Amino acid sequence: MKSILSLILIIVIAALCVGCGSAQSAATAAPEPSPEAAPAAEVPGAEQTQDSKAESKESEMMHMKIGETDVEVIWEDNESVAALKELARDGLHIQMSMYGGFEQVGPIGRSLPREDRQTTTQAGDIVLYSGNQLVVFYGSNSWAYTRLGRIADKSASELGELLGSGDVSIALTLD
């Protein structure tokens, strides 16, 4: 009986030693990199990832021209502006109409995502009205709009001269 117990004990100890050795080898061995885990730059011929494509689209600058005058706009970072950029990719021209003595309004040609909030606008504000109208203010108004941006390089009086003397056209482009 003693020899059977000794034999079983030796087998158990041997099994434990073999198991420990395997675990130690697995823990110290460097894992094989999988092709899915490798960064795109390390995989020859890999295409740009969706995230980097989205970042490059977002980093493209959208420019606005009112009539023949380029204006500097600080655009909001929202879904509406992203959708407007997509429309501006091929050049977007909007025929604006004076309204109320404080704004120019024009149809975009399609509905954009919107996050309307009660807003009091100032000269230079650019907003989305009803999801499909671009509005550029040269005065002030209070209504529910989605903010798109703000003209940064013109004073209120310059905007009044630029926008307050009749209908204008606006061009939006990307570079």
pLDDT at residue 43, rounded to an integer: 41
pLDDT at residue 24, rounded to an integer: 44
Averaged pLDDT, groups of 10, the chain, 175 residues long: 55 51 43 42 46 54 97 98 96 97 97 97 98 97 97 97 96 95
DSSP secondary structure letters along 21-89: HHHHHHHHSPPPPPTTTS-GGGSTTPPPPHHHHHHHHHHSPEEEEETTEEE-EEE--SHHHHHHHHHHT
Q: How far is CA 99 from CA 20, 29, 102, 129, 167, in A?
A: 81, 73, 7, 13, 9
pLDDT at residue 76, rounded to an integer: 98
pLDDT at residue 175, rounded to an integer: 86
Q: What domains appear along the chain, each with residue ranges and CATH number?
A: 61-174 (2.40.100.20)
Total-model pTM:
0.68
pLDDT at residue 6, rounded to an integer: 53
Question: Nearest to residue 148, comparing CAs of 68, 99, 85?
Answer: 85
pLDDT at residue 37, rounded to an integer: 40
Q: Report the greatest alpha carbon distance in the chain.
A: 112
pLDDT at residue 131, rounded to an integer: 97
User: What does DSSP assign to residue 10?
Assistant: H
